[in-house]
Structure 1
Amino acid sequence: MSKKDIFGDDIDSGKSFEDFEAMFAQSEAGGLKTRVSVGDKIRGEILSIGKEESFVSTGTPTDGMIFTRDLLDENKEVKYHVGDMIDVVVLSTKGGEIRLTMKGSKSAEADSLEDAYDMELPVSGTVTEVVNGGLRVNVQGKTAFCPISQIDSRFVTDASEYVGKKFDFLITQFDKRNIVVSRRKLLEMQKVENEGAFMQKVQVGAILEGRITRLEKFGAFVELESGVEGLIHLSELTWSRVHSPQEVVSPGQTVTVKLLKMEEIDGKLKLSLSMKQADGDGNPWNSVPAKFPVGTVVNGKVEKKEVYGLFVNIAPGITGLLPKAKWRDHVDGAQFENKKRGDDIAVQIDEIKFEDKKISLGVPGAGEDHTWRAHQPASGSGFGSLGDALKGLQIKPKK
């Protein structure tokens, strides 16, 4: 059997006899492919590199063509050499020609939109206008429709912000009259991919940088990488007590966080983050015993008022409780009763429960006996002195 008998044509002069012998043996063993299909993933050898087009072996009698621009690096220089093995995907097999693109390439150009639909390859499109229920998108010169629910991974109320912008889409419906695309589906696929890579390279306890994306009443969401988002709970924003995340951060702000927990729930990656624990030994409670020994009188600010007492902030991240029972019977109790959130107040450190992170506060000088004040007569009562009190007292002589 001749070489021409196997392949139907003469062997390319660029291939060595050894290459042919290997292919011949593979053919005899029944392992040589005779054809490939759109979407097939192939690992092939670069056979030639031209200015516009290059050729890669496909494991079949027909070599595949790939645009040389797909072989360029970020500096627009060819990063491969003839003989290198690369991973490619079959884009089309029309007219006896095999068209290829790099595996995983987001800029993969299908020979037609139908190929992109069949292979679930991304296509670039520009949003041209907002229409009823969605947006019109220009994809390779053709008009496609993107439902408003599919333009982003988040809920969208104002679709006009996307007009004039270019995005990658997946074609979800294709026929001669209708082309429907989805950006959301592509974002979700990329999110799963990115989350998987994140879980492999990052460990719990890692210190990371991210960007605040949105605020909720229970905390702030942070984007750590493209498609990878975590939550800083309200209690983990700062050591001080806050009532809303807006008091600490704002959307778009870059923050440093510590990864507290990483788990998959119902197929979704959940990340718990902390800002207050990201600065190493930044816990203000570590300095409490030395800075606030029992008996110390400090100036603080009322943080919250409850029926049972006042929560007083005495330092950033340090809050103690002044129980109502400690001022209720005090001679100056009225001034404490009238305190409200934000008011300045002087308190005394009565007790520190370090392990529980609790401080019991008291009224300054409450240890002194001030009960005599309650019995002091009011001015002008006629009983301002002992002499006044004895006036008119009649002492009867003994008989």
Structure 2
Amino acid sequence: MSEEMNEIEVNNYEAGDRVTGTVTKVEEKQVIIDVKNSKTDGILPISELSSLHVEKASDVVNEGDELELEVLKVEEEALILSKRKVDALNAWDELERKFESQEVFESEVKDVVKGGLVVDLGVRGFVPASLVEDYFVEDFSDYKGRTLSFKIVELDKEKNRIILSHRAVVQDEKGQKKQELLDSIQQDQVLEGTVQRLTDFGAFVDIGGIDGLVHISQLSHEHVEKPSDVVKEGDKVQVKVLSVDRDNERISLSIKETLPGPWQQVSEKAQPGSVLEGTVKRLVSYGAFVEVLPGVEGLVHISQISHKHIGTPHEVLQEGQQVQVKVLDVNENDQRLSLSIKDLQEKEFEEITDYDLPEESKGFQLGEMIGDKLKNLGK
């Protein structure tokens, strides 16, 4: 009785049952399996070996391999089995774990299709074109066969749907690199960067994974009308870190601070006694500041503006006016330049006073001197 019951049990497999079997023979289009606790052999068709296309069964299994299989169909002569379905079920368990933990994993791109990439994960995974990179890709043909890192961004077992993203991994890596850079960067540090984009108020420079702003006032020692007058996108530039706001991820940079100062070697360019042309930049009560070199202003003291007595510089000068000046004194270290406008002007006729007369004529009246001259002329 027990022997009859055992015979019924071992032959009572149904479609969907899990069985364990050993490969006894590998044929071209199928594999013969010795199924545990079954009096009949199992047949594993080549189409059920893998979720991928298989040219020959020997590429996947060998004689003696022990396999976990699923019964697809029960026939009188044999059990029709599937390895592909078991692999897929096992894969789903692993994929669900990776999805929940947002684990990053690598896989090979098996095919390029319309709208994206196909990846074999034991089941079919799809990477939409928009989730391949964090930039636009026109042609994906060279992605086939490449191994990329992915995250699962959508998983639906019932619909057999798995959406992967390589872009998410790239963005996470950039974010981590950005944070590391923010933590390491220091004020006054000098770095090399690349101009990424220009705005009306300055230039954004990539300094290795994070952009910093070079305000328009920090582009040059000279006055800048618009950033494109000084730099263009793609330029390699040296920048100095002015400040780092780690909370708001903002970095202020300066190109100007890395350039030679306008006062450097100014004593050679503006030697005492030399005559320069400049622009009146500012008028103050005690004189006028005149820019004679880019970023270099000198003071024309009120006493050096005109031979005439003036109450304020505004009487004879205005801002923006072009003037010629003579260099009186240069102090490069203190960034001081003394200039004169008066020294380049001819002295106008002034009323002759007693101290203007020759020594021998002092004590005589001017009228007497002129009278004597006239008498001499009449002789």
TM bin (shorter chain): 0.5 to 0.7
Higher mean alpha-carbon deviation, 45-54 vs 295-304, is at 45-54
Contact 2:328 2:340 in 1 (8 A): yes
Query: Residue 267 in 1 paired to residue 247 in 2?
Result: yes
Measure the CA separation in 2 of the matches of 1:207 and 1:384: 78
Aligned residue pairs, count: 275
Measure the CA separation in 1 of the matches of 2:312 and 2:323: 10
Contact 2:276 2:326 in 1 (8 A): yes
Query: Residue 76 in 1 paired to residue 56 in 2?
Result: no
1:239 to 191, 209, 221: 221
Aligned to 2:197: 211
Measure the CA separation in 2 of the matches of 1:327 and 1:233: 34
CA change 1:303–1:75 in 2 (3 A) is: same
Contact 2:240 2:257 in 1 (8 A): no
Aligned to 2:204: 223
Q: Which has the higher contact order (CA 8 A, sep 6+)?
A: 2
Query: Residue 56 in 1 paired to residue 120 in 2?
Result: yes
CA change 1:384–1:211 in 2 (3 A) is: farther
Higher mean alpha-carbon deviation, 350-359 vs 62-71, is at 62-71
Measure the CA separation in 2 of the matches of 1:50 and 1:210: 32
Deviation, structure 1 residue 88: 3.5
Contact 1:204 1:262 in 2 (8 A): no
CA change 1:360–1:193 in 2 (3 A) is: farther
Structure 2 residues without counterparts, runs of 5 or longer: 1-18, 22-34, 37-43, 51-56, 69-91, 355-364, 374-379
- The percentage of counterpart residues that share the same residue type is 16
Matching residue's letter, 2:192: A
TM-score normalized by the length of structure 2? 0.53
Report the 3-state secondary structure (helix = DSSP H, G, I; strand = E; otherwise coil) of the residue aligned with 1:36.
Answer: helix
Deviation, structure 1 residue 33: 4.7
Aligned to 1:320: 298
Aligned to 1:296: 274
Deviation, structure 1 residue 100: 3.0
Aligned to 1:170: none
TM-score normalized by the length of structure 1? 0.51
Query: Residue 2 in 1 paired to residue 8 in 2?
Result: no
Deviation, structure 1 residue 298: 2.8
Measure the CA separation in 2 of the matches of 1:327 and 1:252: 35
Contact 2:202 2:227 in 1 (8 A): no
RMSD: 5.2
Measure the CA separation in 1 of the matches of 2:269 and 2:230: 36
Greater C-alpha radius of gyration: 2
Matching residue's letter, 2:280: V
Deviation, structure 1 residue 198: 7.2
Measure the CA separation in 1 of the matches of 2:108 and 2:193: 42
Aligned to 1:92: 155
Deviations 1:244-265 (A, max 9, x none): x5x3547998376541106532
Aligned to 2:264: 286
Aligned to 1:387: 369
Contact 1:211 1:253 in 2 (8 A): no
Contact 2:151 2:168 in 1 (8 A): no
Contact 2:109 2:119 in 1 (8 A): yes
Deviation, structure 1 residue 67: 4.8
